[in-house]
Structure 1
C-alpha cells in the first residue's frame, strides 16, 4: 500500500488524512458512506519489524470490545491489493485538542467538560480491560458539530490477555506523555533483556494530566516549541497556576495531583478523576467561565515572538519557553545537557520542594475553593477480561454513523528518573535573597535571562557523536551518506532571503523550498522536507578559529508523506550581528550530514 493508491477494497480514496509510525490514514467513500481508512504501514524491505499487521488486527479487536460515544468506532476491515490489512473507522469532522484550544478559545469550564467526557470514556475502556497507552493532544478530536471529544488511534492499545508485540522494556507510546515510573523501571532493569513494564491505569491518568497541563498553560499548543519536562522524576513541574495566573486554584491543584511523581497520589482510577472534574465543572465560581487564554493575548504573544520582543510578553507566559532538560536519547547515552531549562526546572523544583507551604495569592476575581483529593488504592490495573470471540477470515462490516480519525503525530519528550515525592505539609519558610533572585531568573525568557546574566543559558551546542538510531535511519531508510549537503530555509517562519534574528538555544523548523535544483537533494531530501532542531551561537572566544557562527543542529527530519526520522544534520552560517543571546544571520544556507560534531 502506498499513498498513491486511489481505491482500497472498493473504498474510493479522496485524500490522505495523515500517517503515523504504524499506518497511513485516508479519507474513503463507499456507497455514500465516509470512513477513515487506516492501512497498516508494512514495507517489504523492512520485514515488517514493527508488526504493523498484527498491531492493526489487535487495534480492531480492542475497538470491537468498546461501544462508547467518545471512542472512535469501526465500520469494517479488509485488505488492500498489496495484502495490507486496513480498518474502516468512523470519520469525525473535528479538531485535535490542540487545534480546538487555539481556534475556539475555550473557557476553563469548557475544557473541564471535554476532559470529563474523556475520563468517562477511559473509565468505560478500563472496565472492559482496554488500555489506550498513547493518549496525547493529537489523539483526541473535538467534533465540530457538538463539541464532543472522541478518542482515536488505538494502534498502541492493549487488552487483557492480548499478545505483547514490543521487544523493548517499555510499551509503545509517546515519551512526553509517559509516567515517570516507566523510565525508573527502564533504568532499574536496563541489564535485564526480558524485563517488560506493566502499563497501568495510573500511567493513563498521568497522560491525561500532561494534556490538561499543556492546554491550560500553553496558549499555542499547536506550535512546535520547547515545553516543560512534565515527567522529570526529580521534581514535579511548577503548578499550572504559576505559569498561567488565570487558572482557578482548585483546577491547578487537581492537575498537580494528576502529575504526582507517586502513582498512589494520583486519582485512584479514571472514574474518580471523572468525578473530580465533574465537581469543578459544577462549581459556580465565575473564574471558570473566562477563556483559559485571552484571544487578544494569544495574538499579542504571536506578534511579540515573531518580532523577537520577548521582554514585552505578559509575565505569566514567560516560563512557557523554558528549554527541556534531557532528551531520551541523550539521557541513555549519558550526555547531560546544560540549558536554560535545566537551570529553570531545577530552581522551580527546589522552590516547590523547599517552600511547599508558601502562600500563592490568586489573581483578582478568582476565588475558587480547592477540591478534596481522591482516595488512593494499591493497584490500578484494569479488570481482567478476554477479547470477544471473532474471526478475521473475511471482511467485517458494521452500520455505524460517522465520527473522526486523524493520524497521530510524533512528539519528542524528555525523560529522567524519579525520587520519592516530598511532603506538602509544613510552615511557610522565609525565602532567601538568593532564592528570590533565582526565581526571578526562572520567570524570564531565554533572551531576557541571557541579558540579565542568569546562569545556565545554553548558547553553544555540545559536541556529539551521531546516535546509532539516527545513523541507521540516515544510511538506511533515507539513503543519505555522510557528507551529503542540502540547502534549506533555516526557519520556516521567515522568507528565504530574510536576515533573521535566531534565539540561541531556541527551536527552529527548516524547510526545503521550491526552486531547489540539486539532483541529489531532489532525490533524497525533496521540496517540502522539514528539518527540526535548535539554533546556537559560537563566538571566536569559544574556540572557533573562523570567527563567530550561527550553528543549527537538526536532529529530526520529515520527508513529504513519510514518518519523522532521527538525523544528524548541521548548518553553520555567518553571524551578521549578536545581541543578548540572539544571533542575526541569513535564513538560507546549506548544511551537511555528519557522523559527529565538531
Structure 2
C-alpha cells in the first residue's frame, strides 16, 4: 500500500497505509485538541502486536515531549508502556512529534460500566489499580493532573484499568507550557484547593497554582463518585471572610450511598475520603491503594451485587454513560469554563434526560441512617451531607444547560430559545436544530455532559437560554 501523496495529508486524519517513522497506520482510533491516535504496526512486521500511535496536530508541539518523558520515567501495569517516539515530517515540510504506546483493547471507564454493570467490589479493585498507577507517578515526583473517566481504559481481556493521556502531566523541573492561574485539567475534576486559589487570585496574572499529589487523588474521587452515582459532586457556595479570603464549608452533594443505596459502605467511605476538602485527609496514593485493596477483599452481599439497575436491554440502549445525567451545579466547573464559554452559558437549572441505566431509590430512612454512620477511614467521617472544614479559593458561581445521548437529535428544553418563523435563530453563532436554538461548541463529551449540553454526531450543542444576559458595560440610567 502506497503512502498518500503530499499536501493532502492531514495529521488529524491520516489514511491507512501512511508511514509515520517506522510505523504503518492501520486505522484512525480517536482524536483530541492536540493529537490524533492511530492503530499502527511496525513497518515490515505486520503480524507484530499493534501500537497506539499518537501524532501531534501542531508542528513541534512541546506537550508530546513532556508525555514521552513521563512515560519513559514511570513504569507500571496500569500505565501505558512507551514503545517508540520520533518526528514525522509532513510532505509540506512541517515537523510533527509522535510516540507509540502499547495498544489497549478496552473501553473508557464509564462506557465499560454501562456494559458490565460492575459491583462495588469490582469498582474497588479498579480504583485500587488506578491508585497504584498514581503511586508510581508520585514516587517519581510526577503528577497526572487530568485524572477522569475518559482517561481511564478498562482492558477487555482481564478488566485491568489503565490510566492514560499524560499530556497534561508534570515531572520535576518541567517547563511551564500553559499560562494562567490553574494548570491544565478538566474543570469538573478540579480540587477545592485549586478552585479556591483561582477565586482568590484570578485578578493576579503572576499567581500560578502548584498542583500536588492530593489533587490527583481528589480527581480520582470525582471519577469514582461519577461512576457510582451518575453525577458530579458539587461544593457548597463559597464565602469570603472579613479579610477577603475565600472559603468552603463542605460538599453540598449527598454521599454516594444516599444517591445509590447499592454502593457498599466501605466504597462510600473511601470515595468521601478522596473528596475531603482538606488535602491531608485524603492521604497518599499508596495509603489509598492499600485501603481500596483491603476493602475489595472483604466480601459481603452489598459489595458483590451490581451497582446499577438494568431497565432497558443494552442491545437496545445507546451507550453513553453509566447512570443518569448530572443535575448538579458545580461552581468550580462554571468558573473554569467561563473564560471560554461565558457568552454561551445559561443562568438557571435545566433538566436532563433519563438514561437506560437507573439507580434504585433509597428507602426514606436511608439518608438519616447514612448521616449517622461513622467509619475509621483515615480522616473521613460520616456518610451523609456532612460539612467538612474548609480551605480557601476564587469566583462567583454560574449555572448551565442540559444533556443527552449522541445518536438522537437533542431535545428542546423548556424555555429554550426557538427559531423564528423562517427557521432562523437570533444570532449568527446560534444553530437551529430540532426546533430549538443551540450553540455549537468543540467541547469533549465529558465537559459537554457536565455543562448539561447535548452530544449529537460527535459535536456538543449547548441550548440557548430564553433571555440572554444584559451587557454589564451598559450605562445605568436612573429615573
Taking structure 1 as the reference length, what is the TM-score of the superposition?
0.55
Specify which of 111, 134, 140 is matched with residue 128 of structure 1: 140
Contact conserved, 2:277 with 2:389, CA < 8 A, in 1? no
The answer as to 2:283 corresponding to 1:273 is no
Q: 1:248 is matched with which residue?
A: 264
Distance 2:274 2:85 in 1: 37
Distance across 2 between alignment mates of 1:373 and 1:66: 29
Q: Deviations over 1:294-342 (max 9, x none)?
A: 3x23659x979x9xxxxxxxxxx78x5424354236756698823268x
Q: What is the Cα deviation at residue 358 of structure 1? A: 4.1
What does residue 67 of structure 2 align with? 59
Any conservation in 1 of the 2:23–2:41 contact (CA below 8 Å)?
yes
TM (norm. structure 2) is: 0.68
Q: Would the aligned equivalents of 1:325 and 1:338 in 2 still touch at CA under 8 Å? A: no
Shift of 1:148: 1.1
1:227-276 deviation line (CA, Å, top 9, x unaligned) = 435356644121001111111223212212211222232x2111111111
For residue 179 of structure 1, report the CA deviation from its aligned partner. 0.7
Structure 1 contact 135–177 (Cα < 8 Å) conserved: yes
Q: Which residue of 2 aligns with 1:577?
A: none
Does residue 530 in structure 1 map to residue 455 in structure 2?
A: no
CA shift for structure 1 position 178: 0.9
The partner residue of 2:103 within 91, 95, 98 is 91
Match of 1:76 in 2: 84
Partner of residue 369 from structure 2, selected from 353, 359, 371: 359
SS of the residue corresponding to residue 101 of structure 1 reads: helix
Q: Over residues 63-92 of structure 1, what are the superposed CA-to-partner deviations in whole Å (9 max), with x where a residue is unaligned? A: 111111111011011111221010011111
* Counterparts of residues 398-477 of structure 1 (less than 5 Å): 421-422=388-389, 459-460=414-415
Tell me the distance in 2 between the aligned counterparts of 1:55 and 1:272. 31
Once the two structures are TM-superposed, the CA of residue 361 in structure 1 deviates from its matched residue by 8.8
Q: Secondary structure at the match of 1:80?
A: strand
Residue 321 to residue 114, structure 1, CA distance change in 2 (3 Å):
closer
User: Does residue 165 of structure 1 match 2:174?
Assistant: no
Write the distance in 1 (CA, Å) between the matches of 2:122 and 2:415. Answer: 43
**CA pair 259-116 structure 1, distance change in 2 beyond 3 A:** same
Q: Distance in 2 between matches of 1:206 and 1:158?
A: 17
Unaligned runs of 5+ in 1: 44-51, 219-226, 307-316, 342-356, 363-368, 377-419, 424-444, 447-457, 463-481, 492-504, 512-528, 543-552, 554-598
**Post-superposition CA distance 1:104-155 (Å, at most 9, x none):** 1111111111111111111121111111111111111111111111111110
Q: Give the aligned partner of residue 14 of structure 2.
A: 4
Q: Tell whether the 8 Å contact from 1:134 to 1:156 is kept in structure 2 after alignment.
A: yes
Larger relative contact order (CA 8 Å, sep ≥ 6):
1
Verify the 8 A CA contact 2:346 2:464 in the aligned structure 1: no
- On the 8 A contact 1:77/1:87 being kept in 2, the answer is yes
1:261 pairs with one of 257, 266, 277: 277
Q: Give 2:335's match in structure 1, choosing from 304, 328, 331.
A: 328
User: CA–CA distance in 2 between the matches of 1:485 and 1:358?
Assistant: 46
Maintained 8 Å contact 1:489/1:510: no
Partner secondary structure for residue 126 of structure 1:
helix
Question: 1:409-463 deviations in whole A, cap 9, x for unaligned?
Answer: xxxxxxxxxxx8349xxxxxxxxxxxxxxxxxxxxx99xxxxxxxxxxx94359x
What is the match of residue 184 of structure 1? 196
How far apart, in 1, do the equivalents of 2:114 and 2:56 lie?
Answer: 31
SS of aligned partner of 1:133 = coil
Aligned counterparts, 1:317-396, within 5 A = 321-326=326-331, 327-328=334-335, 337-339=347-349, 358-360=368-370, 371-374=375-378
Query: Do 1:230 and 1:259's aligned partners in 2 also have CA atoms closer than 8 Å?
Result: no
Contact 1:180-1:233 at 8 Å conserved across structures: no
Which runs of structure 2 are paired with 1:37-52 in the superposition (5 Å)? 37-42=53-58
Tell me the distance in 2 between the aligned counterparts of 1:196 and 1:371.
36
How has the CA–CA distance of structure 1 residues 534 and 228 changed in structure 2, closer, same or farther, with 3 Å as cutoff?
farther
In structure 2, relative to structure 1, the CA distance for the partners of 1:328 and 1:174 (3 Å cut) is: same
- Listed one character per residue, the Cα deviations across residues 533-584 of structure 1 (whole Å, up to 9, x for unaligned) are 2376x6xxx9xxxxxxxxxx9xxxxxxxxxxxxxxxxxxxxxxxxxxxxxxx
Preserved CA contact (<8 Å) 2:235 2:330: no
Preserved contact between residue 75 and residue 136 of structure 2 (Cα < 8 Å): no
Q: Secondary structure at the match of 1:28?
A: strand
Q: Take 1:186 and 1:506, find their aligned partners in 2: how far apart are those partners?
A: 23
What is the CA–CA distance in structure 1 between the aligned matches of 2:206 and 2:133, rounded to whole Å? 33
Contact 1:178 1:231 in 2 (8 A): no
Larger Rg: 1
SS of structure 1 residue aligned to 2:369: coil
Q: Name the Cα RMSD after superposition.
A: 3.9
SS, match of residue 230 in structure 1: coil
Name the CA distance, whole Å, in 2 between partners of 1:323 and 1:159: 34
Return closer, same or farther for 1:298/1:277 CA change in 2, 3 Å cut-off. Answer: farther
How far apart, in 2, do the equivalents of 1:53 and 1:118 lie?
28
Change in 2 beyond 3 A, CA 1:110/1:79: same
- Within the candidate set 294, 297, 311, 1:297 is matched to 311
